[in-house]
Structure 1
């Protein structure tokens, strides 16, 4: 939670600094592609209010994220999704809106590029989210066990060093390479007292910890009952 709040504060501070520099200090070169434009285009953009509104967009995005920040201190389960969802929608939607302040001959192209980019980003995020939310299954055989789905793999059952059923998940301190949302975590994460670990978890009341071949694994099922059943199969 502390790491998440720290990341949000950094993004808010960055957007505020950039927005302030563009809007009030007129450092328009911070806007992508602005420095490469002709002097005539720059003057026309300034008359249209395009660079100024870019600065305002960043400031408003930072303000919106700041107003949503207290959600991280509540028990609301979708805090991260709401905060970063707002950031993406507001920023990318704002870029589409700002197309109307472009120079006339580039206005249409700017609108379509921004719209296509927004559609592509949300399609990609939607696809990753859909795949990430697919359930991982634990399949135990006589000589091996396998975790299916994203980041899944197969391990030699005879090389298991430890199997424990935990009532609480140890603190996850950092995502290295994986899919992490408020309710799910899949992939490689740093876990306090365990170090680099492979997670296949959602927020439940119990978790299975497995150490195999110097690798730390955490997994749980769709219910506490299923998690216990998986634990008994692994511990057998």
Structure 2
């Protein structure tokens, strides 16, 4: 998580230096679509320092805040902050940046308001997805059915399970195919370094992990956040043996 935090922070700082007064009409979003008359009513000379200072501050503050959350609160939450904090910052950026425009017309104000609303909706959507994905994938055993609830959940019949055991490590993951991943939380389909496709329900950094192989050779790794993995494993073994 530290590597993406560092890269994103450097990226924001770099953006602050890319836009200049000379290239703004080509590279600066919004300004590059204005007519010459509209550009004449926009204080680009004052806006560029504001743009640069904002992105430098965003990059530095993102780095400090995310690392503080990573080391002192929770590594997974640092990933959430890394994603949502810039959106909040850009809402302020858009609102404050409107002061550099002398286009006090409905079209300009409507565009600013719509942009801010869009960013708020994006923030709420992403934050909701993160919070939902952090919920534990509880296992429900009913009759002959074993249901793993929550994000990327699935149902298995007892007869579908070829083997189940506890393991002390997760295979080295190469990349995410279709899923959700933070520092300790990983859910969905992933590829291992050896090219195997595995399904993960890793809700915490608790060990040992529950390792299930199905009759069709699907490999599933599970770790609970709320319960002991050993207890969940015993419950599963008891249910399967019945």
Same fold (TM over 0.5): yes
Match of 2:71 in 1: 74
Match of 2:57 in 1: 60
**Distance in 2 (alpha carbons) for counterparts of 1:26 and 1:70:** 34
Match of 1:149 in 2: 150
Q: Normalising to structure 1: TM-score of the pair? A: 0.79
Show structure 2 runs of 5+ residues with no match. Answer: none
Per-residue CA shift, 1:179-225, capped at 9, x if unaligned? 33445332223445574322222212332111222322112332115
Match of 1:216 in 2: 219
Instruction: Report the CA distance between 1:159 and its aligned residue.
Output: 3.8
Match of 1:33 in 2: 30
Q: Decide whether aligned partners of structure 1 residues 138 and 192 sit closer, same or farther in structure 2, where only a CA change above 3 A counts.
A: farther
CA contact (8 A) 1:151 1:187 kept: yes
Match of 2:159 in 1: 158
Per-residue CA shift, 1:55-75, capped at 9, x if unaligned? 432232222233346448736
**Distance in 2 (alpha carbons) for counterparts of 1:183 and 1:144:** 28
Instruction: Report the CA distance between 1:20 and its aligned residue.
Output: 0.5
Query: Is 2:84 the partner of 1:85?
Result: yes
Match of 1:126 in 2: 127
Q: Helix, strand or coil: the match of 1:32?
A: coil
Q: Helix, strand or coil: the match of 1:49?
A: helix
Within 5 A, what are the aligned runs for 1:150-189?
Answer: 150-182=151-183, 184-189=185-190
Match of 1:207 in 2: 209
- Mean Cα displacement is larger for which, 203-212 or 155-164? 155-164
**Distance in 1 (alpha carbons) for counterparts of 2:26 and 2:49:** 12
Show structure 1 runs of 5+ residues with no match. Answer: none
Query: Is 2:232 the partner of 1:227?
Result: yes
Instruction: Report the CA distance between 1:6 and its aligned residue.
Output: 3.3
Q: RMSD across aligned C-alpha pairs, in angstroms?
A: 3.1
Per-residue CA shift, 1:57-104, capped at 9, x if unaligned? 223222223334644873641322233332222223222221222332
CA contact (8 A) 1:28 1:51 kept: no
Q: Normalising to structure 2: TM-score of the pair? A: 0.77
- Mean Cα displacement is larger for which, 126-135 or 205-214? 126-135
CA contact (8 A) 2:144 2:157 kept: yes
Per-residue CA shift, 1:120-154, capped at 9, x if unaligned? 11221233234323332323456543222221122
Per-residue CA shift, 1:107-128, capped at 9, x if unaligned? 5224312331132112212332
Q: Decide whether aligned partners of structure 1 residues 164 and 197 sit closer, same or farther in structure 2, where only a CA change above 3 A counts.
A: same
Q: Decide whether aligned partners of structure 1 residues 234 and 210 sit closer, same or farther in structure 2, where only a CA change above 3 A counts.
A: farther
Q: Helix, strand or coil: the match of 2:34?
A: coil
**Distance in 2 (alpha carbons) for counterparts of 1:35 and 1:229:** 63
Match of 1:6 in 2: 3
